[in-house]
Amino acid sequence: MGGKRKNSAGTTSGHSTQEGGQHVKKKEKIVETLLPSTIKNKEKRSAVHAKIKHQKGLEKRKRAKAREAAEQRALELGEEPPLKMIPRTIENTRELDETICKPDDEELFAGNDADEFSSILKQDCTPKILITTCRFNSTRGPAFISDLLTVIPNAHYFERGTYDLKKIVEYAKNKDFTSVIVVHTNRREPDALLIMALPDGPTAHFKLSKLLLRKDIKHHGNPTSHKPELVLNNFTTRLGHRIGRLIQSLFPQDPNFRGRRVVTCHNQRDFIFFRHHRYIFETKESKQAASSGKKIKDNKDEESSEQKVIARLQECGPRFTLKLISLQHGTFDSKGGEYEWVHKPEMDTSRRRFFM
């Protein structure tokens, strides 16, 4: 397409510029009345379309330039710069949801005190996790579990054998485990995660995708055995809150800040992104920054202040994405279980409706 336009530009360069201008205007008129999709001839249609696209691009650039100029002028005159436009995203046009937790909700806090996780979150008992697999487990499954064992403190791997999950739950209850995690693999690839709070907590069933193990992450770090910090982002609704508390109850509530290890669960559009990092605070002097200017972008700011503390991250892995399929009341019971929340196809009537 680009080549074509160049060609046409080359051939028409001999004509007077006025003619060319008229030509464009005519086209515009056509465009206003006629959509390219209504043209039947493909060559003509693509030509018209390319023209429109080009025009749109030009206009956009012009507008951006004008905006920039206005901003610059305002800066020079010392006025308030014009307000930045906020892009309309799916998140900020989210459908109104009455289940979003409000900070002044007395019933929410009473409910939190009464729920299944409160004994762990109040540090009355320490979390103890049992990790097991589905019946057939190979390659990436065990590798993922060995990664998980380094992420979650006080986690113990038990081979599944041929035991029923209900029997395992019973066993874990007797041994004072507080949670059970089951990693489900399909075609040697982990594809589902079952997190169960014990003794009578809810059971969450997640779809697991985009799994990247530690060894597959470039320049990954190796975590220490300190207790990690936990960051939970955007768990806003009652359901999200409950899932957040479920995840929170997997980790000890007294992190070793010396370990500088952080586990993040970031919720965005009902997908929970799991990341595991090490971080460090480094002080950079201005001299150093000036010498190695190309590495760090904000050395301009550092010229004003002599020393600046920056946080640097290193990913430790694993990295994966979870999506909630169902939340069951009570422990695992596929037949007689009651669901607190199940994803149903009839809920997917809007792209802007989220549940967490």
Residues that bind other proteins (CB under 8 A): 93, 95, 98-99, 105-108, 110-111, 113-114, 238, 329, 335-344, 346-347, 350, 352
Q: Indicate the residue among 80 and 95 with the shorter CB distance to other proteins.
A: 95
Minimum Å gap between C-beta 180 and other proteins is 21
Give the rounded distance of the alpha carbon of 20 from its chain centre. Answer: 50
Q: Indicate the residue among 163 and 339 with the shorter CB distance to other proteins.
A: 339
Quick one: CA torsion of 45, 48, 49, 51, rounded to 10 degrees? 160
Minimum Å gap between C-beta 122 and other proteins is 14
Q: Indicate the residue among 187 and 335 with the shorter CB distance to other proteins.
A: 335
Q: Is 167 within 8 Å of 130 (Cβ atoms)?
A: no
Q: Which residues contact 101 (CB under 8 A, 6 or more apart)?
A: 108, 236, 237, 238, 241
Minimum Å gap between C-beta 274 and other proteins is 24
Minimum Å gap between C-beta 113 and other proteins is 7
Report the C-alpha gap between 324 and 248 in whole angstroms: 16
Minimum Å gap between C-beta 119 and other proteins is 13
Q: Which residue has the tokens 């018209």?
A: 48
Q: Indicate the residue among 4 and 352 with the shorter CB distance to other proteins.
A: 352
Minimum Å gap between C-beta 103 and other proteins is 14
Q: Indicate the residue among 162 and 350 with the shorter CB distance to other proteins.
A: 350
In this structure, what token pair is assigned to residue 352?
């802007």
**Cβ atoms within 10 Å of 71's Cβ, excluding its own:** 13
Q: Indicate the residue among 93 and 305 with the shorter CB distance to other proteins.
A: 93
3-state SS of 257-280?
Answer: HHHCEEEEEEEECCEEEEEEEEEE
Find the helix or strand (DSSP H, E) in which 150 lies.
Answer: helix 140-151
Q: Which of these, 163, 197, 165, lies nearest to 180 by C-alpha position?
A: 197
